[in-house]
Amino acid sequence: MESISINGHIAKTFGYDGCSYIGGIVTILNRNLTMPESNRIDVENVFNATVFAAASNTTISGVQQSFAGLPSNKTCLSYLHELDLNEMIESNGEILHSIAGEIIKPGKSYSFAIDIVQDPYYGERDGDYAEYITGGKRKASTNYFYSYLTLYVCDDYRRLTLLAIPWKKGMKMIDGVKECIERIRVLDLGVKCLCMDRGFYSVDTFQYLQQNNVPYIVPVKEMGEELKELLSSDASGHFIYTMHNSIKNSVDLTICNCVFYLKGKNGVHGKDSHAFVIFGIDPKPRRVRGQYSRRFGIESSYRLKNIPKAWTTSHDPAIRFFYILLTFIMQNIWIYIQWKRFAKKQRGPKVIYTKRFSFKHFISLILDEGRDFFTIVSIDTIATSG
């Protein structure tokens, strides 16, 4: 199997003949995480089984019903419980970049998005893991979630996750923003534009980004009559507005208001407007709106993450985070393969034939490999065990 050196790590070159996708993922984990040791079982096989369960979008016990050769569900969970959550938090940036490092280059500038992704939590909000259970707007029949702050490259064809951090009760958005900006600096990357949603709308966030000369776009969160009046204009434009907070801090903001007329679209007439707080970018309203639309790629990434996801009833945040990390690793590998194997051969900007290699197709390759790793249980075997 071909291999390349990335920032001191050896990463498997996915997408070439003889490549082991499951083996490549486990190799990346091995190089960055301290795996539990055992004299009675091949621990690497535990992680092979976990990757296979993730690609199968089921539990480890679920794949055991159809395949032989997997460690038991109890064995797998006992080893996964030994994963060090703090080590995964510290190492996940290196794990994700070990794949993305072939696509994003030091010294270059890219567009980024910061967001919070939520996984529903069902149960009591107490016990040893209570600090990792956060509240939020009701969805999937619950108000409680395991939440993760993510840093995401949202340039065309580079839809890569560079950082994921488990979110705890009491954490402040500004602290998450600072950690993401620090990660961008560690990778020696420039910021063309940082896109965030209204959850990051605060004086502290805007002050920090302006002081550090980080260009950004955030949708306006209307709070007062003065701002509503300024946004009632019939024409697009931009203006300066001073925002205050409860402790009498303030920051001057450039607000870009993009007004457009619906002209009977979908049977609706009249005007609509999208207003954004901006800094360090061209204030032309339609251009701002177009730049921010790239952020919606992160929503697509969140939908994709549920395609290859191992399921568990465990409340251990280390296991939950490990499963989320696996989905982001798989997405980055998929983008890497597209970038290396499905690019149009031409001069000028890179063009990727994205429809020729979908994410579901990539996951199907992992499933095919898993079926070679683990033997399908025959009907006779099932009948005998029953």
Q: Give the DSSP per-residue string, 102-168.
A: TTS-TT-EEEEEEEEEEEE--S-S-STTGGGEEEEEEETTEEEEEEEEEEEEEETTEEEEEEEEE--
370 in any annotated domain: yes
pLDDT tens, residue by residue, 319-376: 999 999 999 999 999 999 998 889 888 887 888 888 889 999 999 999 998 888 887 7
Cα gap 375→70, rounded to integer Å: 9
Using DSSP bridges, classify how beta strands 3-6 and 9-12 pair: parallel, antiparallel or unpaired: antiparallel
Selection from 36, 126, 110 nearest residue 76 by Cα: 36
pTM equals 0.87
| pLDDT tens digit at each of 386 positions of the chain | 333 333 333 334 454 445 688 988 988 988 888 877 777 777 888 888 999 999 999 988 888 888 888 888 888 888 888 899 999 999 999 999 999 888 999 999 999 999 998 888 888 887 788 899 998 888 888 888 999 999 999 887 888 999 999 999 889 999 999 999 999 999 999 999 999 999 999 999 999 999 999 999 999 987 788 888 888 888 889 999 999 887 778 999 999 999 887 776 777 777 788 899 999 999 998 899 888 887 876 667 667 888 888 888 888 999 999 999 999 999 999 999 998 889 888 887 888 888 889 999 999 999 998 888 887 764 444 344 44
25 in any annotated domain: yes
Using DSSP bridges, classify how beta strands 271-279 and 250-261 pair: parallel, antiparallel or unpaired: antiparallel
104 in any annotated domain: yes
Cα gap 23→28, rounded to integer Å: 9
162 in any annotated domain: yes
Question: 49, 63 in Cβ contact below 8 A?
Answer: yes
pLDDT tens, residue by residue, 59-97: 888 888 888 888 888 888 888 888 999 999 999 999 999
122 in any annotated domain: yes
Residue 18's SS3 state is: coil
How many residues would you count in the chain? 386
Half-sphere exposure of residue 303: CA atoms within 13 angstroms, side-chain side: 7
- With b for 16 or more beta-carbon neighbours within 10 A and e for fewer, the 13-45 pattern comes to ebbeeebbbbbbbbbbbeebbeeeeeeeeebeb
385 in any annotated domain: no
Total domains, the chain: 1
**The one-letter amino acid at 6:** I
User: What is the pLDDT, as a whole number, of residue 218?
Assistant: 95
Domain that holds residue 305: 3-375
383 in any annotated domain: no
382 in any annotated domain: no
